[in-house]
Amino acid sequence: MPDKISPSFIIPHSSFSLFDHLQRFFLLLACFVCPLLFYTDLTRNPYFTQIAVLNICILFFWACWLLRSFRFKKWEIPRTPLDMPWLAWLLVCGVSLFVSYLGHPHFFRPAILSEGFRVGVFTFTNTFLVYYWGATVGGKNKISDFGFRISDLKNGDVNSQYLKWSAFIVIWSSLWFLFPALRSVPQSSGILNRLWDGYGGLLWLGGLWAAWRLTRRGSVWDYWHLLLAVGFFASGYGILQYLGVEIIWPNQLDPYGGRAVSTFGNPNFLSSYLVVLLPLALVFFLKARSLGEKCFYGVHVLLFEASLICSLTRSSWLGAGVAIGCLFLSPSLLPSFRENKKSLLLLGLVTLLMVFLWPGSRTASMTVLGRITELKQLLPSPSVKEAALYSPWHQRLLIWVSCWQMGLENPIFGKGWGLLELFYPFYQGPNLLAHEFLRGMRT
């Protein structure tokens, strides 16, 4: 097991071409800026900014890949075990749209074409291109764009420079606490005043420069640490929101009744992001070789768990538990679990204390145990009276029943890939008429 990354696995920074630097830049924007840049009043949908930035990064990354391939006359397309399943799935999606188009009256066909094209472009951009973006960056084929193979570092990277990442996290986080005092007062309600603040802009530029320097090797290992840092920032901000401390906006953000939203604007988005990062942080904790590294990754694990608690999202709690449970099924991690029994016991004890002792938010008294005991409202039959309705359950029940009815019409191809929103109202309506107690849950 090497103590350092072999030089053959890392392309020297000086050997990167202009296209390589541009690809790294757009990857940095996607990983660092998109999850953290959030405007509350710039667009009607507050997530449009993040969505637009992400899509721009995806398209420009692949534009650079195309230009690079033309320039060097070398087409490096990553091969993965999921290539054939991907193609088969895309083929089924296309066939389902074709069958739906032929199987519906002419009245629906323009809408099917429009919605099918929109969803198709979205699927191709945000799933297909993103998947192969990841395969290009960190695939086993050692794609020369970033020159790194995950398999070369199965047992960890003792040269992960966690001290530099710690310094970045502490300094950048601390500077944001000065934002309420140093931000400029908008002179007008113009678009520029909404987009730009002098001190905030300097923080962003400084953060981008630091993140660029820390990821200059261009390895998957570096980008994993960048994502952990982003998760740290988002989690810390979410916890502050939950406790009633707002350091970014003039007013307290509380769109979901005391649940933390952080920079994601929705507790479900925040918690889903953390569900993905939590197992990664735990694996780094297991592979850490020094006390300093263990503390670094252990703090990330606990902070992610605390922010998950503040999101009050039960499905994500379950998802996080399943994700961590799956780690125990990995043969390569079992020795690490055995070697870290004491530290894992301490980590588990702190987690249990947080679950049982974590306070309610400033604007709502709901706690972890309160969210769990809410589920007792599911015990009555679905045919209960309106007073006993539990909207999170019965609204989902309405959606599931309507979708089931849609699927029964064509169990093989359904109503067509991506056409749920187009046809759902036609199935929801009869269910609302048939069950009066559901009428307040129209979606």
Distance CA 349, CA 357 (A): 12
Per-residue pLDDT for 367 more than 80?
A: no
**Encoding tokens for residue 239?**
């916890």
Query: What integer pLDDT is reported at residue 213 of this predicted model?
Result: 93
Calpha distance 325→66 (Å, rounded): 40
228 shares its domain with 325:
yes
% of the chain surpassing 70 pLDDT: 83
| Predicted confidence (pLDDT) per residue in 114-143, tens digit | 999 999 898 889 988 999 888 887 654 343
So what's the pLDDT on residue 385? Answer: 52
> Considering only 20-34, 104-118, 312-326, 362-376, which range has the smallest mean pLDDT?
362-376
Q: How far apart are CA 408 and CA 278, in angstroms?
A: 38
Q: At residue 35, does pLDDT exceed 60?
A: yes
Q: Per-residue pLDDT averaged across 406-420, rounded?
A: 91
Same domain membership, residue 396 and residue 360:
no
> Is the pLDDT assigned to residue 284 strictly greater than 90?
yes
Whether 74 is covered by a domain: the verdict is no
Mean pLDDT in residue range 170-183: 94
Cβ atoms 367, 360 nearer than 8 A: yes
Provide the 10 A C-beta neighbour count for residue 315.
12
In the chain, how many domains are there? 2
Residues 341, 203 within the same domain:
yes
What integer pLDDT is reported at residue 219 of this predicted model? 81
* Tens digit of each residue's pLDDT (9 = 90 or more) over 38-58: 887 666 666 788 888 999 999
Last residue of a domain, one of 325, 351, 370: 370
Q: What is the pLDDT of residue 332?
A: 87
Q: What is the mean pLDDT of residues 232-251?
A: 92
What is the rounded CA–CA span in Å between residue 5 and residue 23?
22
What's residue 236's pLDDT?
96
Cα 358 to chain centroid distance, Å, stands at 24
Please tell me the predicted confidence (pLDDT) of residue 383.
Answer: 53
Judgement on whether residues 357 and 255 belong to the same structural domain of the protein: yes
Q: Which pLDDT belongs to residue 377?
A: 67
Average pLDDT of the chain is: 83
pTM: 0.84
Residue 256 has pLDDT above 70, yes or no: yes
Least confident of 55-59, 146-150, 255-259: 146-150
Cβ(96)–Cβ(409) below 8 Å: no
One domain, residues 251 and 384: no
What value, to the nearest 5°, has the Cα angle with vertex 109 and ends 105 and 112? 130
314 within a domain of the structure (yes/no): yes
Question: Does pLDDT of 12 surpass 50?
Answer: no
Given 337, 370, 403, the domain boundary residue is: 370
| Residue of 8, 3, 1, 9 lying closest to 222 (CA atoms) | 9
Cα–chain center distance at 174: 24
| Pair (404, 365) in one structural domain | no
Please give the structure tokens belonging to residue 206.
């400084």
422 and 278 inside one domain: no
Shared-domain flag, residues 359 and 387: no
Question: Whole domain around residue 428: which residue ranges?
Answer: 376-441
Residues 329 and 390 in one domain: no
Assigned domain for 40 exists = no
Which pLDDT band holds residue 364 (cuts at 50, 70, 90)? low
Crossing angle for the helix pair 314-327 and 291-311, to the nearest 10 degrees? 150
Report the pLDDT value the prediction gives residue 188, as an integer from 0 to 100: 66
Structure token pair of residue 160: 């992960």
Spatial separation of the C-alpha atoms in residues 54 and 41, rounded to whole Å = 19
Residue 346 lies in a domain: yes
Place of tokens 């070697």: 339
Query: Could you tell me if residue 267 is inside a domain?
Result: yes
**Tens of pLDDT along 189-212?**
667 777 788 899 999 999 999 999
Do 353 and 336 lie in one domain? The reply is yes
Q: Are residues 335 and 215 in the same domain?
A: yes
Q: Which of 370, 397, 413 corresponds to the end of one domain?
A: 370
**Integer Rg of the chain from CA:** 24
Helix 129-138 and helix 220-242: axis angle, to 10°? 120
What percent of the chain shows pLDDT beyond 90? 47
pLDDT computed for residue 380 by the predictor: 58
Per-residue pLDDT, 76: 78
- Whether 28 maps to a domain, the answer reads no
Inside any domain, residue 278: yes
Residue 130 vs residue 434, higher pLDDT: 130
For tokens 């790294």, the residue is 24
Query: Is residue 399 in a domain?
Result: yes
Does one domain contain both 345 and 382? Answer: no
More confident residue, 122 or 188: 122
